[in-house]
């Protein structure tokens, strides 16, 4: 894949400002595209956009194919006539600024989306009904299973809560015939709950209609969207429930082993993700069709696909089910070249960015390079005080060490913000940064508050084809702006920008950097 020298901003739609409770793909998303254009930024990177489950992580979705209902814009549904202005009046306990309270947003917004779907069902015109039927036909590979899954899940989640069984999921709570996706049981459920499932289909129609319009607007204005696909899917998902033969599960649908990573930069006990692992032999026998469909689907929604935990295709960390940490796992060979050959044969050259961070072996590098996939460089990993000056500054994450076929980030969603990282760094590490960004001249004159913009400049000046900077870093926001702390839950994914961050001053600065360093070609 050839990358034209460009730059852009990492911002998840949930972080957009001013709308009730959570950012949406409505007016403020278009405003953000306009800001990118003003700043001569041609890339908008997002996190996965599937419906989030417990813990609110976009990397643990109820479906890898569906869109997140929570970012559907209610004002647009009013304009379409599916809701009234009175319907969407924001209650006092829903904020239009500050951190996202996902529980409150779900409690308030999902009933409104269902009301809009019921209105659609009863009042849709013949013309739009036809458009809706086309949508269902186009998305038939996943939509019916997703809608059925959500209708069953909603019913049994409510029942579990009545019994104080919080956290119950399909594999340990649903009736056995439904849990194992018995065809007759699923058919009977759909017959009895047809309207319930249809509402979930209509809500997806709302999402995809709004998303496609936003993507078209971005592309028309020269902005490409970098999407994100987690390597694994959530256990409590339509993906696992409807494809149990493709995962390492027992006869009751329970995982026999789960995913994670060994101890690393982020955690001394590793990260125990808990995702069910793929049965790669079964995937191969099926021609890797599920993965091909997954990639093909996302490519319709974005322009580039960042594949999270790319190294898991070469080998994955298998942790026996029931372990409390990821320490007692083992590396198991993955599908490697066989999978990507199948994807390329079916889809041609695919615009994939490989998240090649962590424990990277020669095999991982070969898999990445043999398919000409750009990897990632993260500035926060570059400034090791123990390495600096010993034979020169040669850390592979330093900008002068890059090739061109890569993407440079100041940090990712898993890192602290750049300002937070600088604040928490040792004085020795900050001194390495000062020496690097100043070229060793008047190092003591470089103040800590100067380091954030100087590191962004270094990223923009790098040889990396793409440079992507989180919006928090552009505004020098501290650790309070961090999106995710790996191996924790409860306070992640909540950050939202404020409307004054659509700043002409910052846009002018980014525009100048893009011009100076040739990223506006």
Q: Give the pair of three-digit tokens for residue 502.
A: 């659509």
What Cα–Cα distance (Å) separates residue 26 from each residue in 15, 56, 102, 214? 13, 21, 19, 8
Residue 125 CB neighbours (<10 A): 9
How far apart are alpha carbons 231 and 247 in whole angstroms?
Answer: 13
CA distance 20 to 30: 17
Q: Is 323 a catalytic residue?
A: no
Q: Measured between alpha carbons, how far is 307 from 292 in angstroms, rounded to an integer?
A: 13
Cβ atoms of 300 and 71 closer than 8 Å: no
How crowded is residue 291: how many other Cβ atoms within 10 Å of its Cβ?
21
DSSP run (H or E) holding 129: helix 126-138
Half-sphere exposure of 368 (CA within 13 A, CB side): 23
Q: Is 239 a catalytic residue?
A: no
Reading across the β-sheet that carries 352-354, which strands appear in turn?
Answer: 352-354, 304-307, 224-229, 43-45, 6-10, 466-470, 406-409, 375-378
Supply 229's token pair. Answer: 């696909």
- The residue annotated as part of the active site, out of 228, 239, 279, 355, is 355
Task: For residue 333, list its beta bridge partners.
Answer: 315
Taking alpha carbons only, the member of 336, 198, 315 closest to residue 262 is 315
> Cα 236 vs. chain centroid, distance in angstroms?
17
Q: Do 311 and 364 contact (CB within 8 A), yes or no?
A: yes
101 noted as active-site residue: no
Catalytic residue among 157, 198, 236, 308: 308
Alpha helices in 232-336 (DSSP H): 238-241, 280-285, 289-299
Contacts of 177 (CB under 8 A, 6+ apart): 184, 185
Q: Are strands 257-261 and 315-320 parallel, antiparallel or unpaired?
A: antiparallel
Distance CA 200, CA 478 (A): 39
Choose the catalytic residue: 196, 279, 414, 473: 414
Report, as residue numbers or ranges, the catalytic residues: 308, 355, 414
């Amino acid at each position: 894949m050839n990358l034209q020298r460009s730059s852009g901003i990492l911002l998840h739609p949930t972080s957009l400002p001013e709308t009730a409770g959570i950012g949406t793909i409505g007016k403020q998303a278009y405003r953000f595209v306009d800001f990118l254009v003003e700043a001569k930024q041609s890339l908008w990177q997002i996190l996965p956009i599937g419906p989030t489950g417990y813990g609110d992580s976009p990397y643990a979705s109820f479906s890898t194919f569906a869109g997140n209902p929570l970012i559907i814009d209610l004002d647009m549904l009013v304009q379409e006539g599916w809701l009234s202005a009175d319907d969407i009046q924001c209650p006092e306990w829903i904020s239009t600024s500050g951190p996202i309270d996902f529980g409150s947003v779900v409690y308030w917004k999902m009933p409104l989306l269902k009301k809009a779907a019921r209105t659609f069902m009863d009042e849709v015109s013949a013309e739009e009904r036809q458009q809706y039927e086309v949508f269902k036909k186009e998305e038939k590979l996943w939509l019916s299973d997703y809608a059925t899954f959500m209708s069953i899940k909603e019913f049994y989640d409510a029942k579990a809560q009545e019994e104080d069984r919080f956290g119950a999921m399909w594999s340990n709570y649903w009736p056995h015939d439904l849990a194992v996706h018995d065809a007759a049981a699923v058919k009977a459920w759909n017959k009895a709950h047809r309207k319930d499932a249809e509402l979930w289909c209509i809500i997806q129609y709302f999402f995809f209609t709004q998303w496609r319009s936003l993507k078209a607007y971005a592309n028309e204005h020269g902005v490409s969207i970098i999407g994100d696909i987690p390597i694994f899917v959530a256990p409590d998902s339509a993906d696992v429930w409807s494809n149990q033969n493709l995962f390492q599960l027992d006869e009751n649908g329970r995982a026999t082993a789960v995913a994670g990573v060994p101890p690393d930069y982020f955690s001394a006990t590793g990260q125990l993700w808990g995702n069910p692992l793929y049965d790669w032999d079964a995937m191969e026998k099926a021609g890797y069709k599920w993965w091909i469909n997954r990639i093909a689907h996302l490519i319709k929604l974005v322009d580039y696909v960042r594949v999270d935990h790319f190294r898991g295709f070469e080998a994955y960390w298998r942790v026996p089910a029931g372990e409390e940490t990821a320490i007692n796992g083992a590396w198991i060979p993955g599908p490697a070249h066989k999978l990507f050959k199948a994807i390329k044969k079916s889809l041609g050259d695919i615009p994939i960015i490989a998240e090649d961070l962590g424990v990277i072996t020669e095999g991982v590098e070969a898999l990445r390079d043999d398919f000409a996939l750009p990897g990632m460089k993260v500035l926060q990993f570059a400034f090791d005080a123990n390495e600096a000056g010993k034979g020169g500054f040669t850390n592979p994450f330093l900008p002068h060490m890059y090739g061109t076929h890569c993407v440079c980030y100041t940090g990712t969603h898993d890192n602290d913000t750049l300002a937070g990282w600088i604040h928490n760094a040792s004085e020795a590490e900050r001194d390495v940064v000062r020496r690097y960004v100043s070229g060793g001249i008047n190092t003591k004159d470089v103040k800590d508050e100067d380091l954030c913009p100087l590191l962004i400049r270094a990223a923009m000046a790098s040889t990396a084809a793409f440079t992507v900077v989180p919006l928090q870093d552009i505004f020098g926001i501290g650790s309070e702006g961090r999106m995710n702390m790996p191996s924790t839950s409860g306070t992640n994914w909540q950050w939202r920008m404020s409307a004054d961050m659509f700043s002409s001053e910052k846009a002018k600065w980014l525009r100048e950097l893009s011009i100076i360093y040739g990223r506006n070609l």
